[in-house]
Amino acid sequence: MSTAELPEGYSVSVDPALLDVNVIHGFISQSYWAKGIPRTLIEKMIRHSLCFGVYRGKEQVGFARIISDFTTFAYLADVFVLPEHRGKGLSKALVQAIRAHPDLQGLRRWMLITLDAHGLYEQYGFTLAEHPERHMEIHYPGMYEKSGQTAV
């Protein structure tokens, strides 16, 4: 497993009081995976997830969250580092901090979905699903972009 160190002045925290919902919503609502997601849903997902923030001083510059039962399963979602802070190893340090979190040890299965960051996640033990034919989903692409769509 690869290790990564944070550059000077950066930190990773799971303290929910430090999360900047404006930064998180601003990025995720423009992302390919949740374009147009309402702020109320961002607030709800934060309340129901183990969230990791990346900070430069007090400024939030990155984010990821874990959806888990903390016993057997974890799903890694909504991972980002703001463009102006990329190229410094922050995403590596973030994934390393997530994989090292004491509440996430001994899990039987981790999952995530990514369009283009396979190389990052492979450094931390993720592989393509061994049996993709066993995985099923219900997926509503673009649901937040549809006018009049209300998600609860």
What pLDDT score does 76 carry? 98
The mean pLDDT value for 107-119 works out to 96
Where residue 67 falls among pLDDT bands split at 50, 70, 90? very high
Domain coordinates in residue numbering, the chain: 10-134
The mean pLDDT value for 13-26 works out to 98
Task: Find residue 60's DSSP bridge partners.
Answer: 55
What is the model's pTM? 0.91
CA distance 140 to 131: 23
The residue count for the chain: 152
Return the structure tokens found at 67.
């959806």
Where residue 5 falls among pLDDT bands split at 50, 70, 90? confident
Please check the confidence at residue 149 and state whether its pLDDT lies above 60.
Answer: no
DSSP secondary structure letters along the chain: -----PPTTEEEE--GGG--HHHHHHHHTTSTTTTT--HHHHHHHHHTSEEEEEEETTEEEEEEEEEE-SSSEEEEEEEEE-GGGTTSSHHHHHHHHHHH-GGGTT-SEEEE--SS-HHHHHTTT--S-S-GGG------TTTTTSTT----
The mean pLDDT value for 28-39 works out to 96
CATH superfamily of domain region 10-134: Gcn5-related N-acetyltransferase (GNAT) (3.40.630.30)
CA distance 32 to 34: 6
Where residue 2 falls among pLDDT bands split at 50, 70, 90? low
